[in-house]
A and B are shown apart, each in its own frame.
Chain A
Amino acid sequence: MADVTMNGALNEALRRSLTEDDRMLVFGEDVGRLGGVFRITDGLQQEFGERRVFDTPLAESAIAGVSVGLAVAGWHPVIEMQFDSFSYPAFNQIVNHVARYRNRTRGIVPMPIVIRIPYGGAVGAAENHSDSPEGYWAQTPGLKVVIPSGALDAYALLRASIADPDPVVFLEPKSRYWVEEVGDLADPAPPIGRARVVRDGTDCSVVAYGAMVARALAAADRAAETGTSVEVIDLRSLVPLDVETIAGSVARTGRAVVVHEAPMSYGPGAEVSARIVEESFDHLEAPVARVTGYDIPYPTATIEQHYVPTAERILAAIARTVEY
């Protein structure tokens, strides 16, 4: 058992997968010599060579498009989009090709590509460095969308994503990169598609993922002080969505609050809320609440604290829901 950060856990996941799978490649902007702007690929080029871990021209569409050709040729690309907003130039390649190639070729040509994207705000970053684009990817049939909330699960989920035969958009919550957890990286974890109840409770279910899980847990701690028992679910993947775990929790608590950093309208919270209504309508004691980013472009760093959902906002939503 040791202290481990998400950066370190992701780095170790890449290292172990590169060791086991000699068809795996790691490439993207500054991922080689520098080790990535967040150091997720630190040391990998030295260890595995420039053939398997390489820097590319500054061209996100080509990074994704070249990975399609490499996958057709039987390689296994694990690519990095340097920041959330910089994945948009690759949108055409990911949506029109990565996501559809398997289906277009009637199962003959799979696309075992992992697209790693550092995402989200609350890190004081410049413009175009703090978006939460998961809704775009989750609305694209053919992609899996995986989002870890902490270091140990990040290791397990990235390992599982690399082993997955389907393309995975792997979103890494930047604000959790440096947070330490204590544990063993070899810990077995639920597979992709299984949510995890990270705190048991009886009065209200809070459904979150990525950086919002820690804030939901903080809100649950505060709620407990006033006698409200909150269950917290970490989704771990938006696609597949573990409706069973969500519905099971809401069946017990009768109340649900969905939290994400992305803007509210048409966001993942809308999908989760709809599923709760579809699956657990008879159990609901209150309307499903959403605590999300606002429907505005991600703000400047000096006022971003008003945008990213806080434990206080989550707590207020829990209170409204419980008192309904």
Chain B
Amino acid sequence: MSQASAEPGGGGFAVDAATMRALYRLMAITRALDEEAATLQRQGELAVYPPLIGQEAAQVGSAAAMRDDDWLVPSYRELGAAVVRGIDPVEYLAFYRATWHGGMWDPQAHRFAPICVPVASQIPHAVGLAMGAMLDGRDTCSLVYFGDGATSQGDFHEGCNWAGVFRAPVVFLCQNNQWAISMPAEAQTAGSIHRKAEGYGFPGVRVDGNDVLAVYGAVREAADRARGGDGPTLIEAVTYRIGAHSTADDATRYRAAADVERWQALDPLARYRRDLEESGVGSDELFASVDQEAEEIVARARAGVIAMKPRPVDELFAWVYDEAPPTLTRQRDEAAGDG
């Protein structure tokens, strides 16, 4: 039963031209929003921001391969997946403007869990969502995002192991962007990430995370397996964190510029655009209209972020409990008096 493959996944998965164009659009919008978010942080409009530049193919390809009624469970660098799910960028960036922990979107409406900071702790949540679908007899599955650093955490092991035992319909999507803040992937594990799946009794595949169609195909395949009752898959999407860990980090302290430049040359968006041009699926008209749309989306997001005010003080107390204990009610009244 257990099999781990070193072969690239998703080969030969047919993707129609409309989907190919849609993937380009989502990647381009993601790139534009990500760059704008970094700019907003430099201008003091966001408290912090973890850029995803370089990971657009891994995020968009994986999120787009899932059905709308499947759950996506992000870590904290998943703006691209949020874009695919149609989450308002302002509601997403509310987390980074320090407006609301978790973000401001409705997780149930978007089937997109809140931003999760403690590394790997979101992995068991995705397994629970998959268990829930099984118990309900639904054919939905869940996909969880995490990085190479997360594979060192106990919750990665516990989540994978549990999903293997129950054959839970979950896709474990590791974006191996090769850096966990200052630590390179080879310092996280002496083995290979996708091959860890073998020990859990389910397939593991490694894909070129900068090839959006490869990621899309691998995830579709894994999601189909999950829906069919064949259990989880671990996908290692090999990519690169072009930016720093976050706007608070200085990556020049621990990695060589040449390394970054080598990966900048492998930019997934530029590469995909070239592919679309060469195959004739993408035209100048498409690229121009996407650029135009991205510009409008960015302008709206920028205006929305800047207009976003701190929440009223009573919201600090509103949702801690369904019914606030008397002590909390008293504290709420005290805080309101400060107001």
Question: Contact residues of A with B, CB < 8 Å?
Answer: 25, 51, 56-57, 59, 61-62, 64-75, 89, 92-93, 96-97, 100-110, 141-142, 144, 164-166, 193, 239-241, 243-244
Show 25 A/B contacts (Cβ-Cβ < 8 Å), sorted by A: A56-B162, A57-B158, A59-B161, A62-B124, A65-B128, A66-B125, A66-B128, A66-B131, A66-B162, A69-B125, A72-B108, A72-B129, A73-B128, A93-B124, A101-B114, A102-B321, A103-B101, A105-B102, A105-B106, A105-B114, A106-B319, A107-B319, A108-B107, A109-B108, A241-B327
Q: Do the beta carbons of B158 and A68 come within 8 Å of each other?
A: no
Q: Which residues of A contact B280 (CB under 8 A)?
A: none
Determine the distance from Cα of A152 to Cα of B106 in the docked complex, in whole angstroms: 41
Given A72-B132, A93-B121, are A61 and B127 also a contact pair (CB < 8 Å)?
Answer: no
| Contact string against A for B residues 313-335, beta-carbon threshold 8 Å, 1 for contact and 0 otherwise | 00100111111011100000000
Asked if residues A96 and B132 are in contact (CB atoms below 8 Å), the reply is: no
Bound Cα distance from A65 to B155, whole angstroms: 8
Contact A104 B102 (CB under 8 A): yes
Report the separation of the CA atoms of residues A198 and B118 in the bound assembly, to the nearest whole angstrom: 43
Q: Is B104 an interface residue (CB 8 A)?
A: yes
Tell me the smallest distance from the CB of B42 to a CB of chain A, in Å.
27
Of the candidates A65, A109, A241, which one forms a contact with B124 in the assembled complex, judged by CB atoms under 8 Å apart? Answer: A65
Specify the chain B residue showing the minimal Cβ separation from A55. B165
Q: Which residues of B contact A66 (CB under 8 A)?
A: 124-125, 127-128, 131, 159, 162
What chain A residues lie within 8 Å of B162 (beta carbons)?
A: 56-57, 59, 62, 66
Q: Which of B118, B128, B154, B326 contacts A89 (CB 8 A)?
A: B154
**Separation of A96 and B162 alpha carbons in the complex (Å):** 20
B112 to chain A, nearest CB (A): 11
Shortest B68–chain A CB gap in Å is 16
The 3 A-B pairs with the shortest beta carbon distances in the complex, nearest first, are A69-B128, A65-B124, A73-B132
Q: Which residues of A contact B126 (CB under 8 A)?
A: 69
Residues of A within 8 A of B101 (CB): 100, 103-104
Asked if B37 is at the interface (CB within 8 A of a chain A CB), the reply is no
Kindly identify which residue among A73, A105, A241 contacts B136, using a CB–CB cutoff of 8 Å.
A73
Starting from the known contacts A65-B158, A73-B132, A92-B121, 18 additional A-B residue pairs (CB-CB under 8 Å) come to A57-B165, A61-B124, A61-B155, A65-B127, A65-B159, A66-B127, A66-B128, A66-B162, A68-B125, A70-B135, A72-B125, A74-B132, A92-B155, A104-B100, A107-B318, A108-B107, A164-B322, A241-B325
The smallest beta-carbon distance between B84 and chain A, in angstroms, is 19
Residue B48 at the A interface, CB < 8 A? no
Give, as a whole number of angstroms, the nearest-CB distance from B168 to chain A: 9
**How many angstroms from the CA of A159 to the CA of B81 in the assembled complex?**
41
Complex alpha-carbon distance, A62 and B159, angstroms: 6
For residue B223, CB closer than 8 A to chain A, the reply is: no
CB-CB < 8 A to A62: which residues of B?
Answer: 124, 127, 155, 158-159, 161-162
Cα(A217)–Cα(B101), bound, Å: 46
**Which interface residue of A61, A67, A100, A109 has the most chain B CB atoms within 10 A?**
A61
Determine if B93 is an interface residue (Cβ-Cβ < 8 Å): no
Distance to closest chain B CB from A164 (angstroms): 8
Q: Report whether A243 and B327 are in contact in the complex, using a CB–CB cutoff of 8 Å.
A: yes
Nearest opposing residue in chain B for A68, CB measure: B125
Contact partners of A144 in chain B: CB under 8 A: 321, 325
**Chain B residues within an 8 Å CB radius of A25:** 135
Once A61-B154, A73-B129, A241-B325 are accepted as A-B contacts, the answer to whether A92 and B118 lie under 8 Å apart by CB is: yes
CB distance from A144 to the nearest CB of B (A): 8
Tell me if B123 counts as interface (CB < 8 A to partner A): yes
Inter-chain CA distance A72–B108, complex, in Å, is 8
B290 within 8 A of A: no
B130 within 8 A of A: yes
Which residues on B sit within 8 Å (CB–CB) of A93?
A: 121, 124, 155
- Give Cα distance in the complex from A296 to B118, angstroms: 30
96-118 of chain B: CB within 8 A of chain A: 100-102, 104, 106-108, 113-114, 118
CB distance from A269 to the nearest CB of B (A): 17
A244 partner residues in chain B, CB cutoff 8 A: 326
**A204 nearest CB across to chain B (Å):** 25
Q: In the bound complex, what is the Cα–Cα distance between A75 and B125 (angstroms)?
A: 13
Q: Is the CB of A106 within 8 A of B128?
A: no
Asked if B82 is at the interface of the complex by the 8 Å CB criterion, the answer is no
Distance in Å: Cβ of A273 to nearest Cβ of chain B? 15
